[in-house]
Amino acid sequence: VITTWDEKFNQTALALVPISHRPLLARWLIWALNIYRLREGLAKYTTVGVIGLVNSGKSTLVKKLFQKETVVGTTQSARTTVPFIYNMDDSVEGLSVIDFPGVDDRDESIKGLAQLLVELAQVVIFVCGYERFHTVSAEEWMNTFHNELSSIPVLVCLTHADILYEDCEDDIVPTCPDDKVEKTTLKFDSELQEIIGDYPLRPDCTVKFCSLVQGKRSPLNCLEARKSMRKVGIYTPEDIGQWIKEVVDNELQQPDLAERLEDFLIKTM
């Protein structure tokens, strides 16, 4: 596009664009064309958009929940830098998934791309470490969900909640005794409300603590510990999958797709 700019656009106002600005504008033109094609291609699908902050667990969630090989990392050098679109027809016919780059990436153009792409989704999962919920990027996207994307059901996953759980009383780690489940649940509910504060939430915007992965040496890296976290209200990929299924069934009114998704989750989770 750049090397043939003058030839392609000599009869338009784009010919006046300074050479230094052409690479960025060329990228936007290509994105716009690709998004137009995507919109047509995804028209027959129900699309789940997984979006969030850098290294918050987006690709980990896609890998665990939808059984897709993704770019997973915990450093700036190991991160998703382009959107990946997964067609789920081989396992859940009629479903597609977009794994977005981190919306607070140092490449500022990613934010604009995400804003264009997220409109293609009918369901959105916003992934953000609980400790970063009040960063500028997270609050900007919460405002976007509240205003421009108010018709799309959103689940806000405040990840790394296993750190909070591990800091609780010693006798609930790794497993929470039945007689302490109610007390611990109330504790996490209170902490969640404290983090949310007075932030206005739409009725179809749900915020939950989540634990997507635990460290290899963590006492919570076992099946019983994950069951305990679920008991006290901390979502895992299984719970997120169930939330998507219920939205597809009850809000999008697609019971057949919801049934196929549930069968997939039973087989894989």
Model pLDDT, residue 254: 97
248 CB burial (10 A radius; 0-12, 13-18, 19+)? buried
**pLDDT average, residue stretch 6-27:** 89
Model pLDDT, residue 100: 86
Model pLDDT, residue 244: 98
Contact 126, 98 (CB under 8 A): no
Contact 50, 127 (CB under 8 A): yes
Model pLDDT, residue 71: 55
Model pLDDT, residue 114: 79
* pLDDT tens-place string over residues 134-193: 999 999 999 999 888 889 999 999 999 999 998 887 788 888 899 999 999 999 999 999
Percent of the chain residues topping a pLDDT of 90: 53
Strand positions, DSSP E, the chain: 46-52, 84-87, 95-99, 123-129, 154-159, 205-209
Residue 5 has pLDDT above 60, yes or no: yes
Please indicate whether residue 188 or residue 75 has the higher confidence score (pLDDT): 188
Q: Within 10 Å of residue 187's Cβ, how many Cβ atoms?
A: 18
Of 47, 60, 114, 103, nearest to 248 by C-alpha is 47
* pLDDT tens-place string over residues 209-266: 999 988 888 889 889 999 999 999 999 999 999 999 999 999 999 999 999 999 999 9
Task: Write down the mean pLDDT value for the chain.
Answer: 88
Model pLDDT, residue 253: 96
Model pLDDT, residue 120: 85
Model pLDDT, residue 73: 47
Model pLDDT, residue 81: 56
